[in-house]
Structure 1
Amino acid sequence: MISAPKICVGSQIRAGLSGYVAEQVSARICYELGLPADLHESHASYVSHWLEILKADKTAIITAAAKADQAFNHLAAYSGYQSEPAEDEGEEADETAPVPACA
């Protein structure tokens, strides 16, 4: 079994936020691998739950996204996965472009 770094250790994030970090990592992995995004009936209640958390803590989304990025980078490095470069080699990718969701 591999030993993953404890990305959220020492963080001031609430208990439920670690689940959001996991969802962000999952969504990014799906996006990077080109997996289809399917909607499920449970999505509305799931989103409602996270809206409550995000309303209570305005910085939760930033913290979770940063932790999810760290987790994705760890998994990508371990697996040898390399993201495709931006369309223009010398330019950054357009971060305002919509990113498809992944179930």
Structure 2
Amino acid sequence: MLLTLLVCLVLTAAAEGLAMLLIFRSLRFVYYSLLANLLTNPALNVLLSLATTLLGASAYLPSLILLELAAVAAETFVYRALCDFMPLKALGVSALLNAVSFGLGLALSGVIPGL
């Protein structure tokens, strides 16, 4: 499980960092994206695993939706504070970056077992 968590974190940080770089062309913002992902990604994956273990497979999708929304909210605060974005811009950036990494994870879930 630890290796899976690490792979998820690395893929998420890489995807969101690259998107942040392409949008803003700022290595400082890429670093802030990494910090945001260090805060949210491990927690999301551990809590998702815990939810499905305790509540069963049927809890996966509702838990995933709630945890992804929580990650977007938490990362919005990070981008608001560190990038000095206005609230709606921080929310938009957070939602976009999370959509990018979620899409990558969804695409790779059929390719990488256990992802």
**When the two structures are superposed, what TM-score results if normalisation uses the length of structure 1?**
0.40
Which has the larger share of helix? 2
**When the two structures are superposed, what TM-score results if normalisation uses the length of structure 2?**
0.37
Q: Which has the higher contact order (CA 8 A, sep 6+)?
A: 1
Q: Which entry has the higher C-alpha Rg, 1 or 2?
A: 1
